[in-house]
Amino acid sequence: MSERMANPLESLKTQLKKLADKPFKHKYYVPSLWVEVGKEPVDGKKPVSINPAEFYLKHIEAIEKNKVEGIDPFRSLNGQIEGGEGGSWINNQAIYNMFVRLTTAYDHNGDNKLGGSMVDLTLNQDGIRESGTFLKAIAMLGYIKALGCTTIHLLPITSIGHDGNKGELGSPYGIKNPYKLEETLADPMVEMSAEDQFRAFMQAAHMLGIRVICEFVFRTASKDADWIAEHPDWFYWLDAKIQDRTPGETDIAKCEATYGNPIFTEEELKVIKAKVEAHDFNDLPAPHQNYVNFFKIAPKAGEVKLNDKGQYEGNGTDPITGDKCKVRVPGAFADWPPDDNQPPWGDVTYFKMYKDENPVKPEFNYIAYNTIRMYDNKLARPELANQPLWDAIIDLIPTYQTEYGIDGVMIDMGHAVPVPLMQKLIGKARTVDPNFCFLSENFEIGQASVDAGYNAVVGYCWWVEYRRDGMYDMLEHIGKKGVPLSFFGAVENHNTPRACGREGGVAYAKYAFLVNTMLPHAVPFIHAGQELGEAMPVNTGLDFSNELLESLKGKKLALFDLVGYDWDGKHEMYSFVKKVLALREEYAECVKPTSVDTFASFMTGYSDVIAFIRGNDNKRVMVLFNRDLQNGYEGEIDISWCNPDGVKGLSDRLTDGHVTFKVENNKLKYSLKAGQCCFFAW
């Protein structure tokens, strides 16, 4: 960590004031939507040309003018804002998910490209950083607050390694040093480190009552991570002669002779999946011996060096012969299911969470599903924990709590981190802050996450609701049966297809977001760019067919490349997302309770016309939508059992002018266009 400034936001102001007094020689455009706190964004306005120092200074002054009284912005808001014991405050939040490098990227000089400097790709020819920065994230706080979001979830902001980088810039998940922040997130306009610019961002967000959740990665590190040279026994090592498998290779002989995900037969896969589904982790089928033989015993500390390609290598030991051999750091791959079709993760490597009982003749010295996720019971024993590694991981979050005042964390693949490690990690963080929030990238919404100490999970809405039976299954499970903890009401995230990129485009994205936001236990979740109608995915990690993967070949993916959003022009999704979040707050007494007693569905007469109600005896809301993207429908819904006051019409709050649907004899008469969704309250 860098030596911290006493008051980073004040230091930022001081520098900006000096710069604002000097003439600015270059063009600097910003999106018109990036308004100061207290002003209302107007969608569709042209970008504005400004003096950047004056622009950012006005934003900071507006934040100070509109700050929440009585808040110490240097500390977490937990404990300063009433309620939310044990991290439960997340239940009442609306989350804006920001990948700083991408979300705040912009073509500031208007030359129709991002960056391009020969010195630093993220800079333009005038030395202005056009990729995203913490300074620009401060300027987005007014927009985020006006949108209706109360919490910001940041994808990893730590330093990025370079060995095996995909794309131009590398992935934020390829973490070189978890204690250092990525230096390109610092804006060169001011002389402040990335750490101090992030502290200023934290101050500004806290002043506005906005919490910040940071994402942490505890299973992998970049292949050139600082910890590899310092602690080689925290990692797996591969015989340097073994070549990496060509992505997409199908020839079995070539696959088995090269390094990649271990190859299992169809029969072995059936056994593996059956045992895991039954939670039987005894004697899980191991990879074939030729794959196991690829791996060697780690070199000693001090013997690991970077070669001229920036890759770590050293002299390991062959566990069979005892001979010394040249070894390298292996890349990672999707660990579940064992036959996953994701491209390899060649920019990261897995941590070795457990040591072998016999370190000289190891049994589990290889990377496979049973050593990095579905830990074999013979390996996952307390006495075999790689304790120095665990201690280092456990200390990370308290450091960020103390240094930056973060309010919570998202644990990347949290369900795959050993449970005893997570319990210790959560315990230590909550010693620092009893109301600290823990989120897990778990797609199941189950009791196991509650038992592990999590407050919420990502959940599975984005994965099932566009499928024919998925929507009904989701409403039955979440609405009628109930779930034990909160989940993200997300239609997409940085690893999935964009909602506006799925069949139906904006129409699908609208009704799916409306449904997700109004479910019991749902935490509204806006993946930045979703509200702008972005259709290009950030990454291709989850739920991509082989055909879709093929169609994206050769195209830039923002998780790895220099990419920005289309902030300019009119965005149909923007006003819709804002309206839905406002309705959730207006009818909080109906939609925020988590009991299944507050949810009921209706018969509509058509399988593609779906309706459900939320509320109580005093007030209720209805979500009605037509998921048929080609055909409209007319019909009626019997609401006699929930219309004690005998209303004669219901106004659609999502339509400008509040179009009224007639109610005759306690039957709501509807006429819906293809893909149309409605929200009623009475």
Q: How many residues does the chain have?
A: 682
Say if residues 334 and 342 touch (Cβ distance below 8 Å).
Answer: yes
Distance of CA 59 to the CA centre of its chain: 26
pLDDT reading at 529 higher than 70: yes
3-state SS assignment for residue 326: strand
Map out the domains of the chain as residue ranges. Answer: 8-218+389-585, 226-350+352-383, 590-681
Class of domain 8-218+389-585: alpha beta
Residue 473's Cβ-side half-sphere holds a number of Cα atoms within 13 Å equal to 11
Q: Which DSSP helix (H) or strand (E) runs through 63? A: helix 52-65
Which pLDDT does position 1 carry in this prediction? 56
Question: Cα dihedral sign for 525, 529, 535, 538?
Answer: negative
Token readout for 164 is 């095996």
The mean per-residue pLDDT over the stretch 498-520 comes to 98
Ordered alpha helix ranges (H), 552-662: 572-586, 588-591
Per-residue pLDDT tens digits for 235-254: 999 999 999 999 888 899 99
Residue whose entry in the numeric block shows the structure tokens 């310092």? 230
Phi, psi (5° rounding) for residue 541?
-80, -30
pLDDT reading at 343 higher than 90: no
Per-residue pLDDT tens digits for 565-602: 999 999 999 999 999 999 999 999 999 999 999 999 99
Distance CA 302, CA 395 (A): 24
The mean per-residue pLDDT over the stretch 261-267 comes to 96
The mean per-residue pLDDT over the stretch 614-624 comes to 95
Distance CA 382, CA 403 (A): 31
pLDDT reading at 616 higher than 60: yes
Which pLDDT does position 309 carry in this prediction? 93
Per-residue pLDDT tens digits for 92-101: 999 999 999 9
Per-residue pLDDT tens digits for 437-494: 999 999 999 999 998 899 999 999 999 999 989 999 999 999 999 999 999 999 999 9
Per-residue pLDDT tens digits for 33-85: 999 999 999 999 999 999 999 999 999 999 999 999 999 999 999 999 988 89
The percentage of residues in the chain with a pLDDT greater than 90, rounded to a whole number, is 93
Ordered alpha helix ranges (H), 208-265: 226-230, 252-257
Q: Which CATH number fits domain 590-681: 3.90.1150.10, 3.40.50.720, 2.60.40.1180, 1.10.3720.10?
A: 2.60.40.1180
The mean per-residue pLDDT over the stretch 273-286 comes to 96
